Amino acid sequence: MTVIGYFDGASRGNPGEAGAGACLVDDTGKVVWECAEYLGIKTNNEAEYAALLRLLAEARSMGVSELEVRGDSKLVICQVKREWKINKPHLRNLAERAWEMMSGMKVDLVWTPREGNKLADDLSNRGIDEKRSLPDGR
């Protein structure tokens, strides 16, 4: 069974107040996990990576072995798929964390248009609106 994960990051100001949204959906279409987290001041790309990392962490903790990851950030999808160069060191560090988290899992990264990523988009904006802080204080 392949689980589908959606992720999105939002930043109001770029950099600005940012949020991460992500969810996991089972093969029946049921949302089995979701998060909406406030990230503080981040760029849009940093928020996108943060959302992806939260998604991968949850999938790993749930024991997911096959995961289809969908996101509307072409930059993050293509960088993590190693199709695009990563010129900024801090984004390279985030991509390396994603690669580590995907180790041992079968992960298919798929770019999806924004309208196909509405749930994660709503969650990322909810994270900003509700300003939920992360458990580790970031």
DSSP calls for 5-65: EEEEEEEETTTEEEEEEEEEE-TTS-EEEEEEEEEEEE-HHHHHHHHHHHHHHHHHHTT-S
> Can you list the pairs that 79-82 forms with residues at least 24 positions away whose Cβ atoms lie under 8 Å?
80/52, 80/109, 81/109
pLDDT at residue 135 tops 70: no
pLDDT number for residue 1: 73
Q: What is the mean pLDDT of the chain?
A: 94
Per-residue pLDDT tens over the stretch 10-44: 999 999 999 999 999 998 999 999 999 999 999 99
The residue ranges of every structural domain in the chain are 3-130
Distance of alpha carbon 57 from its chain centroid, rounded? 10
Residue 138 has pLDDT above 80, yes or no: no
pLDDT for res 2: 83
Percent of the chain topping pLDDT 70: 95
pLDDT at 131 (0 to 100): 83
pLDDT-based confidence at residue 136 (cuts at 50, 70, 90): very low
Q: Specify the CATH number of the domain 3-130.
A: 3.30.420.10
- What pLDDT was estimated at residue 137? 41
What are the pLDDT digits (tens) for 66-124? 999 999 999 999 999 999 999 999 999 999 999 999 999 999 999 999 999 999 999 99
